């Protein structure tokens, strides 16, 4: 059986070798399969994600970070009204993600997990529902940022040497095909543009333990630190002069390029 077991002790109905258009667990849920760990993913992209490549969290959206608000966030409230810049917010884009207060005279540094939110057009207020009530009423100039859940809307890890846009979040063991879209509201689809609804796919990414992962063209030595490689989605050998996106440790030395090496993942236990 390839159905991982959740922290609750129950096996997931979804195998690590399949995807589903039906959501079974909260995004980011942890499960284990023997000596390997997995995280539950919501994939909502028009570009397929191949198996055995490294994925990263979706890049931060323009105008959804470091935004200034005109009014306070009130203690006891379980919603926040956030005025977006000129970038739409997809329906549930930040579900299971976070909103944090970057600047304020009172209440600075607070961070809250987001339960739900609708689609929002550009430059309008987005109301997010929180899991927990706000602790401290803010004052002064409030500046906030939205953070996606790391396992919501992942994409292939960018190649090393390119500008890094997100942390590594895991390796899919099965193909996540491009998501279907519709031009009208459709059951099971999320609104991603004014006239576009997209059907997410759900499944598991491996995050810890023995895994087969695409390698880049460099020589990878057993026991060295594996980081994001020169090919998007690959792993390569650690070089002290590059920005690192740590993945894990090679379990044997690899000298051929473009193959798949045995990596002991150390992304999320």
Domain range summary for the chain, segments of one domain joined by +: 1-59+150-269, 67-147
Among the ranges given (169-178, 180-189, 199-208, 248-257), the one the predictor scored with the smallest mean pLDDT: 248-257
d(CA 217, CA 87): 37
d(CA 69, CA 23): 33
d(CA 15, CA 204): 8
Quote the distance between the C-alpha of residue 58 and its chain's center. 6
d(CA 261, CA 252): 8
Q: 12 versus 234: which is more confidently predicted? A: 12
Residue-level pLDDT at 255: 67
Q: How many CB atoms lie within 10 A of CB 59?
A: 14
Among the ranges given (84-98, 179-193, 210-224), the one the predictor scored with the smallest mean pLDDT: 210-224
Percent of the chain with pLDDT over 70: 94
Residue-level pLDDT at 119: 97
Instruction: Supply the mean pLDDT for the chain.
Output: 92
Average pLDDT for 101-121: 96
Per the CB < 8 A criterion, the answer to whether 202 and 20 are in contact is: yes
Residue-level pLDDT at 259: 82
Residue-level pLDDT at 124: 86
Per the CB < 8 A criterion, the answer to whether 251 and 210 are in contact is: yes
Q: Classify 226 as helix, strand or coil.
A: strand
Residue-level pLDDT at 197: 98
DSSP output for 170-212: EEESS-BPPPPEESS--TT-EEEETTEEE--EEEEEEEEEEEE
Which residues have C-beta within 8 Å of that of residue 254, sequence separation ≥ 6? 215, 219, 220, 261
Among the ranges given (29-33, 65-69, 149-153, 248-252), the one the predictor scored with the smallest mean pLDDT: 248-252
- The answer on pLDDT for 192 being more than 90 is yes
pTM for this prediction: 0.94
d(CA 128, CA 139): 20
Average pLDDT for 252-258: 69
């Amino acid at each position: 059986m390839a159905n991982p077991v959740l922290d609750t002790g129950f096996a997931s109905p979804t195998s690590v070798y399949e995807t589903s258009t039906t959501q079974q667990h909260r995004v980011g849920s942890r499960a284990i399969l023997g000596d390997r760990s997995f995280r539950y993913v919501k994939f909502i992209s028009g570009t397929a994600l191949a198996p055995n490549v490294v994925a990263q969290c979706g890049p931060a959206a323009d105008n959804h970070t470091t935004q200034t608000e005109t009014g306070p966030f009130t203690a006891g409230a379980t919603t926040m009204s956030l005025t977006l810049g000129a970038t739409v917010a997809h329906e549930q884009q930040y579900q299971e993600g976070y909103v944090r207060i970057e600047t304020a005279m009172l209440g600075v540094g607070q961070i809250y997990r987001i339960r739900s939110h609708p689609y929002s057009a550009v430059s309008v207020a987005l109301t997010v529902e929180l899991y927990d009530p706000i602790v401290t009423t803010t004052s002064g100039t409030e500046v906030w940022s939205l953070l996606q859940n790391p396992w919501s809307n992942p994409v292939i890890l960018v190649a090393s040497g390119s500008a890094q846009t997100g942390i590594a979040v895991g390796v899919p063991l099965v193909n996540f095909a491009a998501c279907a879209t519709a031009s009208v509201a459709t059951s099971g689809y999320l609104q991603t543009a004014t006239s576009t609804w997209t059907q997410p796919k759900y499944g598991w990414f491996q995050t810890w333990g023995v895994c087969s992962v695409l390698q880049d063209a460099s020589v990878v030595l057993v026991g060295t630190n594996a980081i994001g490689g020169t090919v998007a989605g690959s792993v390569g050998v650690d070089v002290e002069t590059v920005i690192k996106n740590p993945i894990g440790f090679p379990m044997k030395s690899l000298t051929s390029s473009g193959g798949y090496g045995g990596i002991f993942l150390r992304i999320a236990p």
